Amino acid sequence: MSFMLRKSQDRPQARPTPRVAPASIIAIASGKGGVGKTFMAITLASAFAQAGKRTLLVDGDLGLANVDVQLGIAPETDLAAVIAGWVELDDAVTPIDGGAAGGGFDVLPGRSGSGALAELPPEEVARLAAGLSALALQYDQVVLDLGAGIEANCMRLARAADKALMVITDEPTSMTDAYAFIKVLRGYAPNVEPVICINQADTRAGGQRTYEAIARACQTFLGFRPHLAGIVMRDPKVRDAIRCQKTLISTDQQAQPIQDAIAISQMLIGNAPAAELGY
């Protein structure tokens, strides 16, 4: 069963009770596109929700938003309407039903198929980041799907996060661009901790080698070694699910990439250190 968009009349009359402390905000980042960043963002959001965490997924790709496309939903409103002043930030949140498997979460969608938000002035992006931090008071976990690359607005949004999960493949361009992102992030937002996710690995050993290469570069040139969050194995089921606008976690929880992503989610919320997962 795929995720379904709940009708507006099905939404709760009140937002979740605010927390004393804001949710942990995890930015999902990559140096380049095509590495599975949005798949990871959606899968982690569902995994957090299945673990009992009130979860918000934010489509922070201001140029090429596509979370709604991958989920196969048509939200009533989005971030573009918020920026235009038509709705408040929390009114743009769309509840997603996780189906029989559970794991429903909220989505703050971007504007699919439009570059309207790509050239936002810095002050607008700063206000958006501050609004997200305030909205995080209503959740346990916030997953922020950033745009690929190191352009300024992407970095401004990244500053709102506690951690940046870098999604990297073994392609040389993915590795070099990821290193560039980490280098810029360390200078622009030193309080945001970068952690590494190796995606689309053919073998565990190969994924470990990819991690070691990026970790050595960071240690040599930046003076620190980022932690490994986990390795996600390559599986054609992921591409098939994306083509069908369904999430693999809702149709095949036993698929290896889903098990890998769930392990990463547990590590991120402190339930299972990477060392205990065999990484």
Give the CATH number for residue 121. 3.40.50.300
Is the pLDDT higher at 223 or at 13?
A: 223
Is residue 97 included in any domain, yes or no? Answer: yes
**pLDDT value at residue 243:** 87
**pLDDT value at residue 276:** 41
**pLDDT value at residue 275:** 43
Is residue 9 included in any domain, yes or no? Answer: no
Q: How many domains does the chain have?
A: 1
| Mean pLDDT along residues 64-74 | 88
Is residue 279 included in any domain, yes or no? Answer: no
Residue 155 neighbours by CB distance under 10 Å: 20
Name the residue range of residue 127's domain.
Answer: 21-270
Query: Could you read off the pLDDT of 151-210 as tens digits, one per residue?
Result: 998 999 999 999 999 999 999 999 999 999 999 999 999 999 999 999 999 999 999 999
**pLDDT value at residue 229:** 97
Is residue 12 included in any domain, yes or no? Answer: no
Is residue 102 included in any domain, yes or no? Answer: yes
- The predicted model scores a pTM of 0.88
Sheet with 227-233, edge to edge strand ranges: 4-5, 94-97, 105-108, 55-60, 141-146, 24-29, 163-168, 193-201, 227-233
Is residue 275 included in any domain, yes or no? Answer: no
